[in-house]
C-alpha cells in the first residue's frame, strides 16, 4: 500500500536541512515575480540613466570608451558553480519511522549556478543573487524506496537596492540573509533567522525581505531600524516561516538594533517586536582579550514562548503539542558564551556553551518522546488517527525551538591554509541533557585559483530518542566549486 | 709665519665645521622626540586620515608559492581589506576596527570575528597589512643608533603596551633622515625572534599639498625557516576621504 502525506510533513528536517526547501507555484511564485520585477525595473532605471549619459557623451567630447570604462568600474559580478553529491542515512526513529514520514532521499546530486551581480552608481547600489539549481534524488528507504526524481529551481535568493541618503545614512530594501553575532552554534540574538549558515558553508541560507534604515552617528555607533516584511524564501514547503512552530503564519517583525564598537570590544542590543505581540531583547558582544584570545557572548530574552510543548490530554494519542507558554509573563532567556584561542603555529580552538531556558525539561522530554512514539504508531493505522499522527509528527519536528533541550556545548577547531591548500574545520556539538552529539567536518582543498574540492560530513551520536539521533544517522556531502 | 697662521685658521675652521656638522647631523629633527619619530614612521605605512592602496602578496612557505591581491582602505586605526585575486578568494573581506577583526566571504552568511594573530597568508598576520599603530600599541623601552644599508638609523626597542598588541617586542630601525622604518625584528613573549621585516618606500602620496614617502614593499622572513618569505608589494596608493560607513559591519556583506 502506498501512503501519501500532507505537505506539512514534506522533507522538513529541522536538525540537518540538506538544503533550503523549494518554493514553487501559487502566491510564492507571484511574490518572486513581483520582486524580480522590482529588480528589473531598478536595473532598467539604472541602465536608462546610463544610456542618457552615453547619448550625452556621443554629443560631447567624452568618448564612448570612457563611458564603457566608467560602467565597467561600477558593475561587478562573480560566478560560482557548485556540483555536489549528498549521501545520507535517515534515522529509523519515531520521528521518521522507516523514513515514511520525512521521506528523505538517500542520494542527492546537485548542480547550482550562483552568479552575484552588483551595480554601484553612487549613491545607489543594486545587487542581485539569482540562483539556478538542478537536483536528482534517489530514495532507498520508506514508501518512496526505489524512486528517483529530477527537480529544478530558479529563484533570486537575495537582492538589494540601497540608497545612500547621506554619508552616514542608508536606506535599503531587498531580500537579504541578514546575519549577525559572533557565535558558531546559532545566533539567538537574531529574531529573524534561526540558521546562521555556519554548519554547512556551502549551502546558502534562504533570504527574507527587509527594509532597513542604517544611521551611523559616529565611528563607534550605528543605529538600525529593520522591518521584516515577508518571509521570502525562508519558509517550509507548506508555507510557514522556518523557525516557527508548524502552521504558524508569517507576521511582520520590526527591530531596532544599536551597535557599539570600541578599541578592543563591541556590543549590540536588538529590540524586536513581532506583529502578533512577541517581543524580545537580543544582545551580543565580544572582547579581543589579546592577539590570540577572543571572548564573546550572545543571547535573547523573551516573555513566554511561542514554541510547542507536549501536554497530556484526552486526545486519542493521550497528549498533544500546544503553545503552553504563549501568554506567560515569565522571562525566558537564551544565553550563549564562548571564546576562542589562536595558536602561535596556526589553528583556532573555539568553545561555546548555551543555556536555553525555553528548552524542554526532563519531564517534558519524556512526554515529547512518548507522544512522538504514539504518533509514529498511529500513522500506519489509517483514518482520523493517522491524520492526527501525521499532524503531531509535523509538530514534533517543527516545535519552534532551535534546540530541543536546555544545555549545549560546542567545541571547534579550525585551521586554514594548511600547506597553502587545505581549510579544515572540526566541530563537536553536544546536547548536555540527553547525551547526543553531532560531529561535523568541513574540509576544502584548493585545486588551483578557480577550482575547489570540498566535503562536509556529519555523524550523529545518540539513540533514536535523542535530539541529534532523531533525523539522520550520518550525512556526507562531497563536491566541486568553480569560481570564475 | 703667514703660512703658520693660515694653518691654524684652517685647523680651527675644520674643527668648527666638524662640530657644526655633528651638531647638524644629530639634530636633523631636533624638535622631535622619540614618540614623534615613531609616529612619523607609522604614517609612512598607512596611518593617515583616509588612504587606499593595493597589496600584491607573494608568499613562499615550505617551498610552496601563494599569491593574493588585496585592496586596503584605511583611516586611522581602522581598515578594510578586500581580496581581489585569485578568483577563489575574490570578494573575501577582512575588517579591522582597531583591535576588533572580522572576516567575511561570499557565500558565508555572516562575518566571523577573528583574532589579530590569525594568519592572512604566508608569514603575514592579519595585523601586518594595516597594523601601523606602533606608537599606540608599543612603548619605547630604549633608543640607540645603528646603520642599515649604509643609512644611519634610530634603533627603537619597542615593548607591547599591553597584551593587545600583535607582537610582544619589536626592534625597529627608523631612518634618521627620512623618518621611515627600514627594518624590524619581531619577538615572542619568550624573547625568541620569530620573523624579520624589511621595508621600502618608493611610493609617494600627497598629504596637505606635500609629497610624503609611502611604503612600497614589505618583505617578511621567518627567523626559523629562512626560506619562508612573504613579500607584500604596495601600489596605487592614494589619499581619499574614507567615511565611517566603509568600516561598518552592517553594510559589509551584500
Looking at the domain assignment, is residue B161 inside a domain?
A: yes
Which whole number is the average pLDDT over B181-197?
89
pLDDT digits (tens, 9 = 90+) for A23-44: 333 444 445 545 555 554 555 4
Which whole number is the average pLDDT over A275-299?
91
Pair A412, A349: CB distance under 8 Å: yes
For residue A48, pLDDT beyond 60: no
Pair B100, B116: CB distance under 8 Å: no
Q: Which of B109, B249, B250 sits opposite A205 (nearest CB)?
A: B109
Are residue B154 and residue B216 in the same domain, yes or no? yes
Are residue B11 and residue B64 in the same domain, yes or no? no
pLDDT at A9: 34
pLDDT digits (tens, 9 = 90+) for A87-102: 999 999 999 999 999 9
Dihedrals phi, psi of A475, to nearest 5 degrees: -150, 135
Are residue B13 and residue B121 in the same domain, yes or no? no
CB-based contact, B63 to chain A, within 8 Å = no
Q: Which of A292, A420, A484 sits opposite B87 (nearest CB)?
A: A484
Which whole number is the average pLDDT over A150-155?
96
Among candidates A323, A321, A325, A353, which has minimal Cα distance to A337? A353
pLDDT at A197: 86
Residues in chain A closer than 8 A to B164 (CB atoms)? 264, 288, 290-291
Q: Which of residues 135-164 of B touch A (CB under 8 A)?
A: 163-164
Dihedrals phi, psi of B19, to nearest 5 degrees: -60, -45
Are residue B216 and residue B201 in the same domain, yes or no? yes
Q: Which of B86, B166, B245 sits opposite A449 (nearest CB)?
A: B86
Most confident segment among A314-318, A348-352, B45-49:
A348-352
For residue B77, pLDDT beyond 90: no
CB contact under 8 A, B163 and A289: yes
Looking at the domain assignment, is residue B99 inside a domain?
A: no
CA B180 to chain centre: 8
Q: How far apart are CA B68 and CA B55, in angstroms?
A: 8
Looking at the domain assignment, is residue B219 inside a domain?
A: yes
Are residue B18 and residue B136 in the same domain, yes or no? no
pLDDT tier for residue A294 given thresholds of 50, 70 and 90? very high
Looking at the domain assignment, is residue B47 inside a domain?
A: yes
Q: How far apart are CA A197 and CA A180, in angstroms?
A: 11
Whole-angstrom CA distances from B25 to A191, B13, B208 are 65, 18, 27
Looking at the domain assignment, is residue B84 inside a domain?
A: no
Reported in sequence order, the residue ranges of A53-176 that DSSP labels E, i.e. its strands, are: 75-90, 107-121, 124-138, 148-166, 169-176
Are residue B154 and residue B222 in the same domain, yes or no? yes
Are residue B174 and residue B201 in the same domain, yes or no? yes
Are residue B56 and residue B169 in the same domain, yes or no? yes
CB contact under 8 A, B118 and A218: no
pLDDT at A262: 92
Which whole number is the average pLDDT over A410-429?
94
Q: Which domains does chain A have, with CATH numbers?
A: 7-483 (2.40.160.10)
CB contact under 8 A, A452 and B188: no
Q: Which of A167, A291, A340 sits opposite B116 (nearest CB)?
A: A291
* Residues near A29 by beta carbon (within 8 Å), at least 6 away in sequence: none
Are residue B1 and residue B60 in the same domain, yes or no? no
Establish whether the linkage from the previous residue to A478 is cis, with ω within 30° of 0.
Answer: no
CA B61 to chain centre: 22
Residue labelled with grid coordinates 483514518: A383
Lowest mean pLDDT among A144-153, A231-240, B67-76, B170-179: A231-240
pLDDT digits (tens, 9 = 90+) for A301-332: 998 888 999 999 999 999 999 999 888 888 88
CB contact under 8 A, B188 and A344: yes
- CATH for B69: 2.50.20.10
Could you give the ipTM of this predicted complex? 0.83
Dihedrals phi, psi of A140, to nearest 5 degrees: -120, -10
CB-based contact, A76 to chain B, within 8 Å = no
Looking at the domain assignment, is residue B58 inside a domain?
A: yes
Residues in chain B closer than 8 A to A257 (CB atoms)? 250
Three cell numbers written together for A162: 540601497
Lowest mean pLDDT among A19-28, A111-120, A255-264: A19-28
Lowest mean pLDDT among A57-61, A368-372, B88-92, B176-180: A57-61
Pair B67, B93: CB distance under 8 Å: no
Residue of B nearest to A294 (CA): B115
Q: How many domains does chain B have?
A: 2
By CB atoms closer than 10 A (0-12, 13-18, 19+), residue A247 is middle
CB-based contact, B29 to chain A, within 8 Å = no
CB-based contact, B190 to chain A, within 8 Å = no
Pair B68, B83: CB distance under 8 Å: yes
How far B130 CA sits from the closest chain A CA (Å)?
Answer: 15
Among candidates A405, A470, A477, A408, which has minimal Cα distance to A440? A477
Looking at the domain assignment, is residue B102 inside a domain?
A: no
* Residues near B77 by beta carbon (within 8 Å), at least 6 away in sequence: B47, B96, B98, B133, B136
Q: Which of residues 293-332 of A touch B (CB under 8 A)?
A: 293-294, 296
Print the domain residue range for B16: 1-28
CB-based contact, B30 to chain A, within 8 Å = no
Looking at the domain assignment, is residue B133 inside a domain?
A: yes
For residue B239, pLDDT beyond 50: yes
What is residue B172's three-state secondary structure? strand
Are residue B72 and residue B195 in the same domain, yes or no? yes
Q: Which of residues 220-239 of A touch B (CB under 8 A)?
A: 222, 224
Amino acid at each position: 500500500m502506498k501512503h501519501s502525506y500532507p505537505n506539512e510533513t514534506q522533507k522538513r528536517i529541522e536538525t540537518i536541512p540538506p538544503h533550503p526547501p523549494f518554493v514553487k507555484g501559487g502566491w510564492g511564485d507571484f511574490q518572486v515575480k513581483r520582486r524580480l520585477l522590482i529588480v528589473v525595473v531598478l536595473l532598467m532605471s539604472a541602465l536608462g540613466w546610463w544610456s542618457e549619459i552615453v547619448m550625452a557623451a556621443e554629443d560631447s567630447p567624452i568618448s564612448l570608451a570612457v563611458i564603457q570604462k566608467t560602467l565597467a568600474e561600477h558593475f561587478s559580478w562573480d560566478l560560482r558553480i557548485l556540483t555536489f553529491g549528498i549521501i545520507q542515512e535517515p534515522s529509523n526513529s519515531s520521528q521518521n519511522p522507516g523514513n515514511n514520514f520525512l521521506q528523505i532521499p538517500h542520494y542527492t546530486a546537485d548542480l547550482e549556478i550562483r552568479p552575484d551581480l552588483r551595480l554601484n552608481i553612487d549613491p545607489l547600489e543594486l545587487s542581485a543573487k539569482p540562483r539556478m539549481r538542478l537536483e536528482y534524488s534517489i530514495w532507498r528507504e520508506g514508501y518512496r524506496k526505489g524512486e528517483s526524481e529530477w527537480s529544478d529551481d530558479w529563484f533570486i535568493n537575495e537582492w538589494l537596492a540601497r540608497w545612500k541618503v547621506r554619508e552616514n545614512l542608508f536606506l535599503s530594501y531587498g531580500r537579504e540573509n541578514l546575519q549577525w553575532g559572533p557565535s558558531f552554534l546559532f545566533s539567538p540574538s537574531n529574531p529573524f533567522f534561526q540558521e546562521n549558515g555556519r554548519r554547512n558553508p556551502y549551502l546558502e541560507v534562504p533570504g527574507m525581505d527587509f527594509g532597513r534604515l542604517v544611521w551611523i552617528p559616529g565611528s563607534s555607533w550605528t543605529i538600525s531600524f529593520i522591518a521584516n516584511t515577508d518571509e521570502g524564501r525562508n519558509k517550509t514547503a507548506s508555507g510557514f516561516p522556518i523557525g516557527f512552530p508548524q502552521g504558524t503564519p508569517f507576521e511582520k517583525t520590526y527591530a531596532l538594533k544599536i551597535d557599539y564598537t570600541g578599541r578592543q570590544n563591541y556590543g549590540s542590543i536588538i529590540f524586536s517586536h513581532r506583529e502578533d505581540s512577541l517581543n524580545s531583547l537580543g544582545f551580543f558582544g565580544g572582547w579581543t582579550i589579546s592577539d590570540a584570545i577572543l571572548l564573546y557572548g550572545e543571547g535573547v530574552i523573551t516573555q513566554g514562548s511561542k514554541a510547542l510543548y507536549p501536554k497530556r490530554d484526552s486526545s486519542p494519542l493521550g497528549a498533544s503539542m500546544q503553545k503552553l507558554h504563549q501568554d506567560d509573563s515569565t522571562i525566558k532567556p537564551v544565553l550563549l558564551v564562548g571564546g576562542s584561542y589562536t595558536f602561535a603555529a596556526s589553528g583556532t580552538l573555539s568553545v561555546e556553551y548555551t543555556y536555553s531556558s525555553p528548552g524542554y525539561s526532563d519531564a517534558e522530554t519524556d512526554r515529547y518522546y512518548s507522544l512522538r512514539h504514539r504518533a509514529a504508531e498511529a500513522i500506519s493505522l489509517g483514518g482520523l488517527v493517522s491524520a492526527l499522527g501525521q499532524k503531531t509528527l509535523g509538530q514534533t519536528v517543527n516545535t519552534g525551538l532551535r534546540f530541543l533541550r536546555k544545555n549545549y556545548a560546542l567545541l571547534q577547531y579550525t585551521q586554514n591554509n594548511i600547506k597553502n591548500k587545505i581549510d579544515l574545520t572540526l566541530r563537536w556539538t553536544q546536547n548536555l541533557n540527553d547525551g547526543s552529539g553531532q560531529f561535523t567536518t568541513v574540509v576544502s582543498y584548493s585545486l588551483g585559483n578557480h577550482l575547489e574540492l570540498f566535503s562536509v560530513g556529519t555523524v550523529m551520536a545518540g539513540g533514536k530518542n535523542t535530539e541529534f539521533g532523531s533525523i539522520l544517522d550520518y550525512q556526507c556531502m562531497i563536491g566541486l566549486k568553480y569560481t570564475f | 709665519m703667514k703660512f703658520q697662521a693660515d694653518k691654524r685658521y684652517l685647523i680651527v675652521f675644520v674643527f668648527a665645521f666638524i662640530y657644526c656638522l655633528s651638531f647638524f647631523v644629530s639634530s636633523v629633527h631636533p624638535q622631535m622626540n622619540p614618540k614623534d619619530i615613531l609616529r612619523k614612521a607609522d604614517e609612512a605605512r598607512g596611518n593617515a586620515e583616509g588612504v587606499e592602496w593595493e597589496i600584491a602578496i607573494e608568499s613562499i612557505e615550505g617551498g610552496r608559492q601563494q599569491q593574493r591581491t588585496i585592496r586596503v582602505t584605511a583611516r586611522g586605526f581602522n581598515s578594510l581589506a578586500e581580496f581581489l585575486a585569485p578568483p577563489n578568494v575574490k570578494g573575501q573581506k577582512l575588517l579591522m576596527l582597531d583591535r576588533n577583526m572580522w572576516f567575511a566571504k561570499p557565500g558565508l552568511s555572516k562575518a566571523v570575528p577573528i583574532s589579530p594573530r590569525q594568519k592572512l597568508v604566508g608569514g603575514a598576520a592579519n595585523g601586518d597589512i594595516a597594523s601601523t599603530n606602533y606608537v599606540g600599541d608599543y612603548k619605547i623601552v630604549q633608543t640607540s643608533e645603528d646603520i642599515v644599508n649604509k643609512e644611519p638609523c634610530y634603533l627603537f626597542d619597542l615593548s607591547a603596551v599591553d597584551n593587545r598588541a600583535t607582537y610582544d617586542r619589536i626592534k625597529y630601525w627608523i631612518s634618521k633622515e627620512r623618518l621611515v622604518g627600514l627594518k624590524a625584528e619581531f619577538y615572542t613573549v619568550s624573547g625568541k625572534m620569530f620573523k624579520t621585516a624589511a621595508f621600502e618606500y618608493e611610493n609617494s602620496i600627497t598629504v596637505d599639498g606635500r609629497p610624503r614617502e609611502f611604503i612600497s614593499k614589505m618583505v617578511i622572513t621567518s627567523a626559523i625557516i629562512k626560506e619562508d618569505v612573504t613579500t607584500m608589494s604596495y601600489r596605487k596608493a592614494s589619499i581619499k576621504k574614507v567615511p565611517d560607513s566603509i568600516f561598518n559591519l552592517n553594510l559589509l556583506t551584500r
